[in-house]
Amino acid sequence: MLQLIGFDGDDTLWHSQDYYDAAQAEFERIVGAYIDLADARVHERLLAIETGNIGLFGYGAKGMTLSMIEAAYDVTCGRISAADLHRLVGLGKEVLAHPVELLPGIREAVEAVATTYRVVLITKGDLIHQQAKVVRSHLADLFHRIEIVTEKDPHAYARVLRECEVPPGAFAMVGNSLRSDIAPVVQLGGWGIYMPYHSTWSLEMDTAFSAEDARVVQVTDARGIPEAVALLDRTAATP
């Protein structure tokens, strides 16, 4: 039977990717003044630079901004102006400062789940930005524990479960990323509630995991979460 339910933060509790998408679109407008975006394969080259920097920068808006500056200089062969590079810092600051807007029905869903189970928030990225979003979300008091990690891999989930003294089979994770929220938890022997968001960053698409897995329930929005948890709990209790 389930004991602990994890919730992802970005694009599960609150909107996030939309702000990154807007920054990316503005980045492309800026470098598009110098070069043909398609000819220069700007999208692919930014992604390659971001991917190459993840190990050093980690996830989040500060790393994105530094990668954008690198990419803008690179794809324009150094022809971009200092003023435009400086504008990219402003783009990053806008992403960091954006207001936190909750997804519809998510507060009620977390409250409903928390009446029966311990709930934990497990989010990845920049420590200061994630902490700020937790505060601005006004959801912190609902969670028994808040974990901000650099990478949501089986190792990170196993550590959280060990510290919460919960076996993987008694844990279900709610999130929008098959790669970060669902696959590593199922791999450990846990359960997943997959709630896709309308936009997913390319790097988060990098998984062979299918939502058709028997240990995963897919929901279309937050209102479906409590019922999905109950369904998985019954499944987990069946020998």
x/- mask, its own copies, residues 153-192, rule CB under 8 A, reads ----------------------------------------
DSSP-assigned beta bridge partners for residue 173: 6, 192
- Kindly state whether residue 82 participates in binding its own copies, applying the rule CB under 8 A: yes
- Kindly state whether residue 97 participates in binding its own copies, applying the rule CB under 8 A: yes
Quickly list H helices, 115-221: 127-137, 154-164, 183-188
Query: Per residue in 6-16, is it b (16+ CB within 10 Å) or e — as a string?
Result: bbbbbbbbbbb
- The H or E element spanning position 82 is helix 82-97
Distance of closest approach, residue 85 Cβ to its own copies, in angstroms: 5
Secondary structure tally for the chain: helices H, strands E? 9, 6
Using DSSP's 3-state secondary structure scheme, residue 71 falls into helix
Stretch of 3-11, 66-74, 199-207, 230-238 lying at the interface with its own copies (CB under 8 A)? 66-74
Choose between 63 and 192: whose C-beta lies nearer to its own copies. 63
- CB count, 10 Å around CB of 24? 19
Q: Please pick, from the candidates 78, 115, 141, 238, the single residue that binds its own copies as defined by CB under 8 A.
A: 78
Determine the Cα–Cα distance for residues 225 and 82; give it in Å rounded to an integer. Answer: 48
- Kindly state whether residue 63 participates in binding its own copies, applying the rule CB under 8 A: yes
Q: What is the DSSP letter of 139?
A: -
Determine the Cα–Cα distance for residues 90 and 226; give it in Å rounded to an integer. Answer: 40
- Total length of the chain: 239
CA distances to 114, 181, 183 from 153, rounded to whole Å, are 24, 9, 9
Stretch of 17-25, 60-68, 187-195, 219-227 lying at the interface with its own copies (CB under 8 A)? 60-68
- Kindly state whether residue 73 participates in binding its own copies, applying the rule CB under 8 A: yes
Q: Please pick, from the candidates 38, 83, 214, 237, the single residue that binds its own copies as defined by CB under 8 A.
A: 83
Binding residues among 124-153 for its own copies as defined by CB under 8 A? 126-129, 131, 148-150
Distance of closest approach, residue 221 Cβ to its own copies, in angstroms: 30
- Kindly state whether residue 34 participates in binding its own copies, applying the rule CB under 8 A: no
Choose between 83 and 208: whose C-beta lies nearer to its own copies. 83
Is 69 in contact with 27 (CB distance < 8 Å)? no
- Chain residues in the site for its own copies (CB under 8 A): 53, 56-58, 62-63, 65-66, 69-70, 73, 78-86, 89, 92-93, 96-97, 126-129, 131, 148-150
